[in-house]
Amino acid sequence: MTDVTSNSAAAASLSAERRARRRKRAFRKALMPWLFISPYLVLFLVFTAFPLLFSVYLSFQEWNPVTGLSGMSFVGLANYAQAITDPWLWKSLYNTVWLAIATGIPQHVIAIPIAYLLVTAFRGSFRHLYTATMFIPFITSTVAISLIFYTIYSSNNGILNQWLLGLSSVPVIGALFAWVPDAMPIRWLGSSDLLKPAIAMVVIWKYTGFNIVIYSAGFLTVSKDLYDAAKVDGCNAWQQFWHVALPMIRPFIFFALTLTIIGNLQLFEEPFILTAGDSGGVSQAGLTASYYLYLVGWEWLEMGSAAAISWILFAFIALATSVHFYFNAREGLEGHN
C-alpha cells in the first residue's frame, strides 16, 4: 500500500519536473527568433519608431529647437490650423502635384517602349552594360546632378542657351529656332513659368533610366513562346507589344508607378538646389511640399509646425497611393504563371 503511494508521488514529481523542463525549453524556443531580430528591432525603435512618435507629439507643441527641450509649449491643434491656412502650403502642394504628373507620366511613357525595344534587340550580355549605364543617373547624388543642371540652365553662359543659339544659326532647322535670339537670355531658373519645367527635366532625366531597368526586367519575364504564339495568331510587332508584352508586365508597371508617386511627392533636392535654397524660387514656383517643410523647420525654426505639416504631407501621400491602389491594384498585383 505504502509502496504504491510513494511510487505515484514519485511519478507525480517526476512528471512535474518534466513539465517544467518542457516549459523552459518552449520559452527558450519562443525567445530565439526575437533574439535574432533584436539588432534590427533596436535600430528600428531608436531611429524610426521614436522619431515617428516624437513628431506626433511635436505637432501639438510650439518649439524652437534653439531653446532646448524646455522651450516646448503645448498649443493643441494650432499648428495644424496655421498650416492649412497658410497659402504657401497650398501652393507647395499644387507645385508637388504638378511636378509629380509632369515628371511621372513621361518617365513611364518613355521607359516602357525603350525597355521593350532594348529587350527585343539584346537578350545577351550587352544587356548588362546598358542596364548599368541606365542606372548611373539613379545612383549619382541628386545634389551633384542638380548642381550640374544648375550650370546647364544658367541664363548667360549655360550650355542649354548656347545650344539653342547655335541651333538657330544652323541652315535648315534654324528656322525652327528663329525665336531664340529674341528671347535671349532665357532665364530657365529665374522665371516662374520655366522653373517647374526645368525642375521636371532633371527629375525625368534622373529616374527614366531606373524605370527602364525595372521594365527591362519585366519584359524579360515574358517567355519567347508567347511572342511566337502571337506571331502565329497574326500579330505584327506593334500588336505583340500591345496585346501580349504590355499586359504581361502589369505588375511591374504597378510597382514602378507606386515608387514614382511616393518619390515624386517627396521631391526636395532638385527644386532646392535649382532655386539655390531661396524660398522656392521666383514666386514660389519651385516650392514643393518637402521644400516647404524644410523652410518651416530649419529656416524659420518652427519645429511644431513642421511636424504638423509633415503629417499633413503623409496623409496626402497615403491618399494618393490609396487612390492608385484602389484603381490599379487588383490588376497590377495579380500574378501570372
**Minimum gap (Å) between residue 334 Cβ and other proteins:** 8
Please say whether the dihedral angle defined by the alpha carbons of residues 310, 316, 320 and 322, taken in this order, is positive or negative. positive
Separation CA 111–CA 211 (nearest Å): 6
17 or 331: CB nearest other proteins: 331
The set of cell numbers assigned to 149 is 543642371
**Of positions 9, 53, 226, 315, contacts other proteins by CB under 8 A:** 226
Question: Which range binds other proteins by CB under 8 A, 46-54, 111-119, 270-278, 329-337?
Answer: 329-337
Q: How far is the CB of 331 from other proteins (least distance, A)?
A: 9
According to the binding rule CB under 8 A, does residue 329 interact with other proteins? no
Is 324 a residue that touches other proteins (CB under 8 A)? no
Show contacts with other proteins in window 232-261 (CB under 8 A): 232-236, 239, 243-244, 247-248, 250
Q: What are phi and psi of 265, to 5 degrees?
A: -75, -15
How far is Cα 158 from Cα 150, in angstroms, rounded to an integer?
8
Nearer to other proteins, 1 or 232 (CB): 232
Q: Within the chain, where are the H helices? A: 2-44, 50-58, 78-85, 87-121, 126-139, 142-152, 159-168, 180-183, 192-220, 224-232, 237-239, 246-248, 250-265, 269-274, 289-294, 303-333
Q: Residue 186 burial (CB < 10 Å; 0-12/13-18/19+)?
A: middle
Provide the minimum distance between the beta carbon of 108 and other proteins in the complex, in angstroms, as a whole number: 19
**Within 13 Å and on the Cβ side, how many CA atoms surround 97?**
11
Identify which of residues 24 and 243 has a Cβ nearer to other proteins in the complex.
243
Please give the Cα distance from 242 to 240 (Å, whole number): 6
Nearer to other proteins, 166 or 247 (CB): 247
Q: Do the beta carbons of residue 189 and residue 281 sit within 8 Å? A: yes
Nearer to other proteins, 149 or 254 (CB): 254
Nearer to other proteins, 7 or 221 (CB): 221
Neighbouring-strand partners of residue 62:
73
Q: Which of 231, 266, 277, 317 binds other proteins (CB under 8 A)?
A: 231
CB nearer other proteins, residue 248 or residue 301: 248
In angstroms, give the least distance from the CB of 229 to other proteins.
4
- The least distance separating other proteins from the CB of residue 252, rounded to whole angstroms, comes to 13
CB of 226 to other proteins, least distance (A): 6
Interface with other proteins, residue 328, by CB under 8 A: no
The full DSSP string for 282-312 is GGGTT--HHHHHHIIIIIS--HHHHHHHHHH
Task: State which of residues 167, 183, 229, 329 lies at the interface with other proteins (CB under 8 A).
Answer: 229
Q: For 4-54, give the DSSP string.
A: HHHHHHHHHHHHHHHHHHHHHHHHHHHHHHHHHHHHHHHHHIIIIIHHHHH
Among 28, 128, 330, 336, binds other proteins (CB under 8 A): 336
**Nearest distance from C-beta of residue 242 to other proteins, angstroms:** 11
Residue ranges that bind other proteins, judged by CB under 8 A: 223, 225-226, 228-236, 239, 243-244, 247-248, 250, 335-337
